[in-house]
Amino acid sequence: MTRRLVLVNSAWLMADKIVRLGVGLIVWVWLARHFGPEGFGLWNYAIAFTALFGAFATLGMDGVLVRELVRDPSRTGMLLGTAMGLRLLASALAAFASVGTLLWLRPGEWLPLVLVALNAVVLVFQSAQVIDLYFQARMHARPAVLAVNMAFLVTTIGRLGLLAIEAPMAWFAVTLVIEAGLAASLLVVAYRSAERNNTPWQFDAHVAKALLLESWPLLLSSLAVMIYMRMDQVMLASMAGDEAVGQFSAALRIAEVWYFIPMALMSAAFPAMMKKREEGPEAYERYVQRLYDAMAWLGLTVAIITSLAASWVVPLLYGKQFTPAAEILSIQIWAGVTVTMSFVHSRWLLAEGLQRYGLVYTLLGACVNVSLNLILIPRFGPHGAAWATLVTQIGLLPAQLMFPKARRNFLLMVNAVTAPYRLVKQ
């Protein structure tokens, strides 16, 4: 596993996100201006609501599948076929559950129902992302990047056309389904071109059982993470209205837009991380420490710059009607310091086989976040939701001290603060 291979693969993953960032942010801003705070809030409410069920659709097995594909390439067809079958079933159940739950929560509201139903269809098409995991395991992200970006760019042109004719919101949601379907088709084409052996896919009940036994803690962790990452928007809608969701979501988009950098770096570095673990504890710990150092200071740099620029960036992008989102952003952005390190933390848990610890950790985070939202949203609205997220992200870190196997990892995270000193000392 060469450093050059990691860098090249990481570059392709970041190129994917940069294209989506550059083009997608423009469309996102136009959508916000087109819908206004209330309509934009409803749009994001539907996305966040469906995402809560979408966490179940992945079954938490992405990292486990990548690990198994790296360990035993000879089982590629069986692993991919089994994972695809499981995800298709799970995504279909999640889609029906999301629509049914919305009918119960917001009866008689047809537009939220249409938006959630279309987002639910997207969940089913996203089952094809197991092919993307195949390319990640092979450290060859280029085909998957080209496939999903082609689908993204084609549908983006369609969205721009809809903006030009001031189309209703439901039409924009249809483009999400078209994009997901096209991306799935192109991923299949990319896989067939790359897999020269044409290994047939097959579903194996024993493999399915093994994958589920390892991934269920990660699934529950993903559900917990999604609760405290997206439940705030759902709670805001019920407690403060769709306009509050619009202001919060406008800020959140900017606060999260750069997360593709740590995500891409860790997706590319995880196979190398596994190799370092095989070399011995010292090399492994040094590698993990360097990852924490990079992530912590990346997050801190972004937080400082964004806080200083928020008051003029938000009105410039979204217009004066979204001015309250600037203060929300100045709070939200600081959560990114711990979010970036969490990308390393989640991979470390997988490498160490501590999925059950991760489950307890994230469930605790979900409980804390929901509780804080219940207290802060009625009094402070979207600002309270932002504070709830920040306090949860930071306050959870010391919880690792309760678990003996995680205490050393907590020290590595804290030690990231001294990275500049250690760099100068070298």
For 64-88, the DSSP string reads HHHHHHHH-GGGHHHHHHHHHHHHH
DSSP H helical segments within 126-168, as ranges? 130-137, 142-164
Which residue bears the tokens 């405290």?
A: 228
Identify the CA nearest to 374 among candidates 221, 236, 244, 226: 236
Q: What is the pLDDT of residue 180?
A: 94
pLDDT tens profile 240-262:
989 999 999 999 988 988 887 88
Q: Among the listed ranges 136-140, 274-278, 290-294, 306-310, which one has the minimum average pLDDT value?
A: 136-140
Work out the angle between the directed axes of helices 382-395 and 355-380 (0-180°, nearest 10). Answer: 150
Do residues 271 and 347 touch, judged by C-beta distance below 8 A? no
Identify the CA nearest to 357 among candidates 413, 398, 404, 287: 404
- Mean of the pLDDT values across residues 48-65? 87
Please indicate whether residue 338 or residue 73 has the higher confidence score (pLDDT): 338
Q: What is the pLDDT of residue 359?
A: 74
- The answer to pTM > 0.75 is yes
Which H/E stretch holds residue 2? Answer: none
Structure tokens at 378: 């009625």
Residue 288, C-beta contacts closer than 8 angstroms, at least 6 positions apart: 273, 276, 344, 348, 409, 412
For 160-203, the DSSP string reads HHHHHTT--HHHHHHHHHHHHHHHHHHHHHHHHHH-TT-PPP--
Alpha-carbon span 389 to 369, nearest angstrom: 6
pLDDT tens profile 349-372:
877 877 677 778 778 888 999 999
Structure tokens at 28: 């996102």
Residue 228 CA to chain centroid, in angstroms?
Answer: 12
Alpha-carbon radius of gyration of the chain: 21
Could you tell me how many helices (H) and strands (E) the chain has, helices first?
17, 0
Q: Please, which pLDDT band fits residue 1 given cuts at 50, 70 and 90?
A: very low
Do residues 268 and 89 touch, judged by C-beta distance below 8 A? no
Alpha-carbon span 344 to 292, nearest angstrom: 7
Q: Please, which pLDDT band fits residue 325 given cuts at 50, 70 and 90?
A: very high
Alpha-carbon span 307 to 327, nearest angstrom: 9
Do residues 40 and 244 touch, judged by C-beta distance below 8 A? no
- Mean of the pLDDT values across residues 10-38? 76
pLDDT tens profile 281-319:
788 888 888 888 888 889 999 999 999 999 999 999 998
Q: Please, which pLDDT band fits residue 6 given cuts at 50, 70 and 90?
A: low
Alpha-carbon span 335 to 386, nearest angstrom: 9
For 261-313, the DSSP string reads HHHHHHHHHHHHHHHHHHH-HHHHHHHHHHHHHHHHHHHHHHHHHHHHHHHHH
Residue 15, C-beta contacts closer than 8 angstroms, at least 6 positions apart: 145
pLDDT tens profile 74-122:
888 898 899 999 999 999 999 999 999 999 989 889 999 999 999 999 9
